[in-house]
Amino acid sequence: FQHWEPIIPLYFGWFLNEADSHMLKLVGMAYLEECLRVPEFAKDFHSFAHASDIRGMLDYYLMPESCKGRMLHCTSKFCSFGDVPGSFEYTSSKNVLEGCGQCYKLCIVGFVMTPRTFGARVKLDAEELKLWDQESESQLSTSPGVSSGVRHLVHSSTHQNLTVINSMRESPWYPHCHATLVSSEELEQSFQPTKGKGSRAHITLGCAEGIAAVTTGYDLLDVIECEETPDIASRCRTFSLPRGWLRDYGKSRWVLYMCREITVSSLFTGYY
């Protein structure tokens, strides 16, 4: 053990199982479609997606090369096989050694949509925060919600996504859109942002063609900066949807705050 050296991966993270990866992709698409029924969002989205119909807009985000494959993940530390400072210490830390191979519940609290990326926001709990080691950030999280009952929407991966989305429309869970404009105060009464560690935690659901996955975290940080700037937050438009609030931070930065969190299962490990 004296000469024990850890093998440093490309990155560490929480990897969703296949069923939850599939479910979250579908839920993300369903929410995106819901947002597209808000005319202001659809108009703005069309301005950068240049798609002629909803189907085309839903196809705008693609899984980036680095995230190809079936499993979604939330990066806890990007190591670049040891090139990133602190990678060795992180990899050999007690928390990481003990955390590898363990299961964690990840809490999804919303979605961020920009011309570059589509990401799910993750609220890390105290145990998960011990494994979190990404760059500068401030923290935003929602008030505790009820774990969503969306698991019944997990379908066999042999189904085509479109077929599943169609069947989701029939489900009582599916959010039917009657968007109304609400005041910033109204949103803030239901949604309490807090500062701190872990605010950049996300799951990349898709990127515009040619955009790298790392951009999702930057877009999220950008949005968090808006959320924490009272001047911006008080001026932006917020639409109330049946299952959340859709907020326009300008420059085609949109955030969907969910009123009920979604919990997904994940395995913490390195990606080599």
Q: Residue 66 or residue 263: which is nearer to ligand ACK going by CB?
A: 66
Residue 217 interacts with ligand ACK (CB under 6 A)?
yes
**DSSP labels for the chain?**
-TT--PPP-SEEEEEE-HHHHHHHHHHHHHHHHHHTTSHHHHHHHHHHH--SSHHHHHTS-B--GGG-SS--EEEEEE-GGGTSTTHHHHHTSHHHHHHTT-EEEEEEEEEEE-SSEEEEEEE--HHHHTT---SS-----PPP-PPPSGGGG---TTS-HHHHHHHHHHSTTS-----EEE-HHHHHHH-----STTTT-EEEEEE-TT--THHHHHHHHHHHHHHT-HHHHHHSEEEEETTEEEEE-STT-EEEEEEEEEEEEEEEEEE-
Residue 66 interacts with ligand ACK (CB under 6 A)?
yes
Q: Residue 211 or residue 259: which is nearer to ligand ACK going by CB?
A: 211
Number of residues that bind ligand ACK (CB under 6 A): 11
What x/- string results for residues 132 through 151 when contact with ligand ACK is judged by CB under 6 A? --x-----------------
Residue 96 interacts with ligand ACK (CB under 6 A)?
no
Minimum CB separation from ligand ACK for residue 63, in Å? Answer: 10
Residue 214 interacts with ligand ACK (CB under 6 A)?
yes
Minimum CB separation from ligand ACK for residue 155, in Å? Answer: 24
Q: Which of 21, 216, 238, 266 binds ligand ACK (CB under 6 A)?
A: 216
Query: Which residues would be at the binding site for ligand ACK (CB under 6 A)?
Result: 11, 66-67, 75, 78, 134, 204, 213-214, 216-217
